[in-house]
Each structure stands twice: as structure tokens, then as C-alpha cells.
Amino acid sequence: MAGMDSPYYRGGQQRTPKREVDFDVIPKAWEILSSNWGPFVVLGLVGGLVATVLYGGVIALFFPALMASAVEQESNPFAGLGLQLMLNLAGIPIFALVASLMSGMFFMTLKQLRGQKPEMSDMFAGLTSNPAGIILAALASMVAVTIGSFFCYIPGIILGGLLMIAVPAAVDKYLGAGEALKLSWETMKGNLLMASLLYLVLGLVAGLGACLCLVGALVTVPLMYIAQAVVYYDMTEELPAYDASASAPMPPDPFAGR
């Protein structure tokens, strides 16, 4: 097992925060995931099933209208745009709910980064600790990214990067949605370019896993959430207090050799 040998869980040692955003969080996230597959993959499976059932129900509800608009598009290319917008809007609360459910990944990742080992019982600890703050932070982030994406996608990617650590903040610090969003914005705005690029890459990686018969998503989706938690930890975790006595050399013994 790699768990006890991981630099994120070695004798209870904590990871030192980096205070910067870079792509190095992806291999770090992989190391965390590969050292303790169980709870992350199981929670990813639960979240995937919930998303499939809920959004599948929405699709089934609108299926007759979708078929009718598909026929109408042969003569009117703009037919069905309103219906497609409704489906997109219906997806916002669903995926915000799923993101809230998956907040346990943030809890488990932070636990491991702080030198403890996540357990199966931790899977839903994130959501149960601060449900209102987490759900509203996830919903507000999803709405902001969706609206931004209507403008050639780039504003949505930028907003995604700026709000990337809002839900981890709500999980870890028990913040309300407004406080969590503000913390994420203020923390990430100094790393705007890298935060936006990382958000884009993590989304592409998660989407790629979903394309691989959905099985790959059991790895890539947890990887995305773990990487976001690593970013949150690196950017917000307090550095350990400096202990001068631990590094100062011992004075020479004046009586040595006598």
C-alpha cells in the first residue's frame, strides 16, 4: 500500500503550503488519490449516480419537446433554442447539488494534507458540517460560471478560476456562501491567469474521463476535486510557527576536552 509512504501521510507529517497556483497540484492530487482510492472513488460513484438520475429525469420530462424541436429544426435552425436554455438552467441546481455532495472530497483531502488518514465515514462529513453554506456557495459559483460561459466561454473560465476554492472554504471554515465566495475571490485574484488555466485543464480532464465509457470519471472527477482542495490548502493554510530553537546551532561547550 502506498498510503503510509505518501508525502501527504507519512508519520502524521503535514504538507507545507506553497502560496501559489500551478499545475503541480495535478500530480499531487493523483498521489493523494492513489494512496487511498476507496472513499474518493465510492463518493465519486455516488455523485455520478445522483447526477445521472436527476438530470436523466429532466431529459425524460422534456423528451417529447426535444423530439418535436429536432423535427422543426429542419426548417427553422433556431427552433429549440429556448428549450435548450431551459435544460441548461435546470442543470444548474442539479450539478450544484452534486458538487455539494462531493464536498466530502474536500474534507477528506484536507484531512490527509494535515497528516491524518481519510476514512469511509468521512465521505459526507463536508456536507453535514455546513450544508447551507456549501450548497449556496456551490450554487452561486455554478450560476456565475454558467452566465460567464454564455459570453464565448472565457469569462466563465475566469470566474471558475476565481471561485475555485469557495466550496472548500465553506467546508473547512464553516463559512456562509458570501464569505466563502469573497475569500476565494480575494485569494485567487493574484493568480488569475494560472487559476483560470488550471480550472480549464481540470474541467477537460474530468470531461475526458466521462467520455471513456463513464468509468474513467471515477478517477478524473475525484482528481478534479482533490486538486481544488490542494489549491485551497496551498493558498490559505497557515504556515507553522517558526521555532528558532529547532534550527539554531548549539553553542560550543566551553568545557569540552578538559
CA-CA distance, 224 to 219, in Å (whole number)? 9
Among 217, 210, 134, residue whose Cα is nearest residue 177: 134
pLDDT value of position 196: 97
* Per-residue pLDDT reduced to its tens digit, 170-201: 999 999 999 999 999 999 999 999 999 999 99
Amino acid type, 19: R
pLDDT value of position 85: 72
Mean pLDDT for the chain overall: 82
CB-based contacts of 85, cutoff 8 Å, min separation 6: none
* Per-residue pLDDT reduced to its tens digit, 97-119: 888 888 999 999 999 999 888 88
Answer yes or no: is 11 within a domain: no
CA-CA distance, 214 to 218, in Å (whole number)? 7
CA-CA distance, 180 to 28, in Å (whole number)? 24
Residue pointed to by grid coordinates 475571490: 185
Q: Into how many domains does the chain fold?
A: 1
Res 208 pLDDT > 60: yes
Tell me if 118 sits within 8 A of 36, measured CB to CB.
yes
Answer yes or no: is 226 within a domain: yes
Tell me if 168 sits within 8 A of 127, measured CB to CB.
no
Res 159 pLDDT > 60: yes
SS3 state of residue 27: helix
Answer yes or no: is 12 within a domain: no
SS3 state of residue 196: helix
CB-based contacts of 160, cutoff 8 Å, min separation 6: 141, 145, 148, 196, 199, 200, 203
Answer yes or no: is 17 within a domain: no
Can you give the residue range of the structural domain that contains 140? Answer: 24-30+39-56+80-112+122-234
* Per-residue pLDDT reduced to its tens digit, 3-20: 444 444 443 456 677 788
Answer yes or no: is 193 within a domain: yes
* Per-residue pLDDT reduced to its tens digit, 52-97: 888 788 778 777 776 776 666 666 655 566 667 777 777 778 877 8
Answer yes or no: is 61 within a domain: no
* Per-residue pLDDT reduced to its tens digit, 114-146: 988 888 888 888 778 898 999 899 999 989 998
Answer yes or no: is 117 within a domain: no
Min mean pLDDT across 39-43, 140-144, 213-217, 235-239 is at 213-217
pLDDT value of position 11: 37
Handedness of CA 68, 73, 76, 77 (dihedral sign): positive
Interaxial angle between packed helices 131-149 and 177-188, expressed in degrees from 0 to 180 and rounded to the nearest 10? 50
Amino acid type, 109: T
pLDDT value of position 244: 45
Answer yes or no: is 206 within a domain: yes
